[in-house]
């Protein structure tokens, strides 16, 4: 590229740069405007509510940090946040572990039908999210598929079904895991499929066992995909509220449910709701930056 540029006459080079400079804002203008109008401005409005610069109550209102102070010094909302973090971490870590062998098989087994199998993996996405969640009620309920099977086998009596299957933290994590599994499998599959097979051949030639080749080559090189997959699940599940409200019951109540309830239930408390929403956004932004740096560093090392 440098050689080509050096051979170009200066006037031609200037024209080319000008073309680039003009086309860049044109290309980026629309998405940036979209981002500003439908992401940054709404966040600004939510921030204004959190500082009481905007309020649903009529009359004058002044800037205050009271909402933030109450949030950071009260234990209830932060405890709920940590509960949600733990649930999301468990879901994300578990399905990464479950999805890795699946993606490994699809990417590296050499099967001709790998794209058909991949399609089967993502097939549930062709149905409604709500239906997929509701279907679990049929499976997990006291009279559901699992309990009916247990009654039939005599392992449990109908008077003592496994109650904790539904309306519990377990139910929320199970359903979230099911919903997000394909999102985890896909990035790992992509990173494994783009792996340079010659490295594995070289390792074998040099006497490495399959396990050693996996530990020393495959796993480290697929880690960017693994971390991306982890983040793909962790971020949305942290703010999840639909699944907990359908299958969570009292124990599965999450931080996202609290945000929704502060806005619409009981008595509108948009200030506290905005504080909670911004806090979540901040945590997610920090996590994204940290993971991006990490992934960037790993890519540079490669």
Partner 1 sequence: MSEDRDLVERQIGRDHFLKLAALAGGAAVLGGPSAVAEAARAQLAAESGRLKVMDWAGYGNDGGQAMFASYVKAHPKNKPQFSYMTNESDALGKIRAGQKPDLFRPYVGWVKYFATSGLVQPWNPKLISNMKNLNPFMVKAGQYEGKQYGIPADWGFDAILYRSDKVHPRAKSWGLLFDERYKGKIAWFDDLNMLVIAGLYLGHPRPWRQSDSELKKSQDFLKKKKRLARLIWSSETNLWEAFGAGDVWIAYAWPNDWVQMKAKKLKVVYMRPKEKPVAWVGMFMLLKGSPRPKLAHAYANAWSSTKSAKWLEDNYGYGHANVKARPSSSDLLRALQLTNPRAVTEPAAHLDRDIPRRAVYARAWEQVKAS
**By CB under 8 A, residue 292 contacts partner 1:** no
The residue among 218 and 243 lying less far from partner 1, judged by its C-beta, is 243
Residues 6+ apart with CB under 8 A from 89: 234
* Residue from 178, 183, 214, 263 in contact with partner 1 (CB under 8 A): 263
Question: In angstroms, what is the minimal distance from the CB of 137 to partner 1?
Answer: 7
Please tell me what DSSP assigns to residue 191. H
**By CB under 8 A, residue 141 contacts partner 1:** yes
Interacting positions 28-57 with partner 1 (CB under 8 A): 56-57
Rounded-to-integer distance, Cα 279 and Cα 265, Å = 20
In the chain, what are the helix, strand and coil shares in percent, each to the nearest 5?
A: 80, 0, 20
**By CB under 8 A, residue 270 contacts partner 1:** yes
Rounded-to-integer distance, Cα 161 and Cα 89, Å = 29
**By CB under 8 A, residue 124 contacts partner 1:** no
Binding map of partner 1 across residues 73-112, x = CB under 8 A, - = no contact: ---xx-xx--------------------------------
The residue among 57 and 196 lying less far from partner 1, judged by its C-beta, is 57
Binding map of partner 1 across residues 242-261, x = CB under 8 A, - = no contact: ---x---xx--x---xx--x
**By CB under 8 A, residue 157 contacts partner 1:** no
Question: In angstroms, what is the minimal distance from the CB of 127 to partner 1?
Answer: 20
Rounded-to-integer distance, Cα 217 and Cα 209, Å = 12
Please tell me what DSSP assigns to residue 246. I
Look at residues 280, 293, 180, 301 and name the one whose alpha carbon lies nearest to residue 230. 180
Rounded-to-integer distance, Cα 234 and Cα 200, Å = 31
Q: What would the DSSP string read from start to end of 67-113?
A: HHHHHHH-HHHHHHHHHHHHHHHHHHHHHHHHHHHHHHHHHHS--TT
With CB under 8 A as the rule, give the number of residues binding partner 1: 34
H or E, element range at 58 = none
Rounded-to-integer distance, Cα 184 and Cα 125, Å = 13
* Residue from 121, 136, 161, 189 in contact with partner 1 (CB under 8 A): 161
Rounded-to-integer distance, Cα 253 and Cα 150, Å = 28
**By CB under 8 A, residue 225 contacts partner 1:** no
Residue 278 · residue 77 · CB < 8 Å: no
* Residue from 142, 150, 219, 281 in contact with partner 1 (CB under 8 A): 142
The stretch among 110-118, 142-150, 200-208, 284-292 that binds partner 1 (CB under 8 A) is 142-150
User: Measured on CA atoms in the order 214, 178, 185, 35, is the torsion positive or negative?
Assistant: negative
**By CB under 8 A, residue 265 contacts partner 1:** yes
The position carrying tokens 């960017």 is: 224
The residue among 135 and 190 lying less far from partner 1, judged by its C-beta, is 135
The residue among 171 and 228 lying less far from partner 1, judged by its C-beta, is 171
* Residue from 29, 42, 101, 268 in contact with partner 1 (CB under 8 A): 268
Interacting positions 164-183 with partner 1 (CB under 8 A): 164, 166-167
Q: Which residues bind partner 1 (CB under 8 A)?
A: 56-58, 76-77, 79-80, 137, 141-144, 161, 163-164, 166-167, 245, 249-250, 253, 257-258, 261-270, 272
């Amino acid at each position: 590229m440098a050689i080509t540029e050096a051979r170009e006459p200066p006037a031609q080079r200037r024209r080319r740069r000008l073309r680039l400079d003009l086309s860049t804002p044109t290309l980026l203008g629309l998405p940036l405007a979209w981002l500003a109008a439908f992401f940054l401005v709404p966040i600004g409005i939510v921030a204004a509510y959190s500082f009481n610069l905007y309020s649903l109550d009529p009359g004058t209102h002044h800037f205050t940090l009271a909402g933030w102070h109450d949030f950071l010094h009260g234990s209830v909302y932060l405890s709920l946040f940590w509960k949600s973090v733990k649930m999301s971490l468990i879901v994300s870590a578990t399905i990464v572990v479950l999805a890795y062998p699946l993606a490994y098989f699809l990417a590296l087994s050499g099967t001709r039908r790998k794209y058909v199998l991949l399609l089967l993996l993502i097939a549930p996405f062709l149905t409604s999210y709500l239906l997929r969640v509701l279907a679990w009620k049929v499976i997990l309920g006291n009279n559901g598929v699992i309990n009916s099977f247990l009654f039939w086998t005599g392992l449990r009596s109908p008077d003592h079904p496994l109650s904790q299957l539904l309306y519990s933290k377990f139910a929320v994590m199970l359903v979230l895991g099911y919903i997000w599994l394909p999102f985890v499998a896909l990035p790992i599959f992509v990173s494994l499929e783009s792996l340079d097979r010659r490295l594995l051949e070289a390792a074998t030639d040099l006497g490495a066992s399959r396990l050693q080749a996996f530990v020393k080559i495959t796993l480290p090189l697929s880690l960017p995909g693994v971390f991306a997959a982890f983040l793909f699940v962790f971020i949305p599940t942290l703010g999840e509220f639909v699944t907990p409200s359908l299958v969570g019951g009292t124990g599965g109540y999450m931080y996202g449910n609290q945000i929704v309830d502060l806005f619409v239930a009981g008595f509108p408390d948009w200030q506290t709701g905005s504080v909670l929403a911004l806090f979540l956004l901040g945590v997610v932004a920090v996590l994204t930056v940290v993971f991006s740096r990490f992934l960037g560093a790993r890519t540079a090392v490669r």
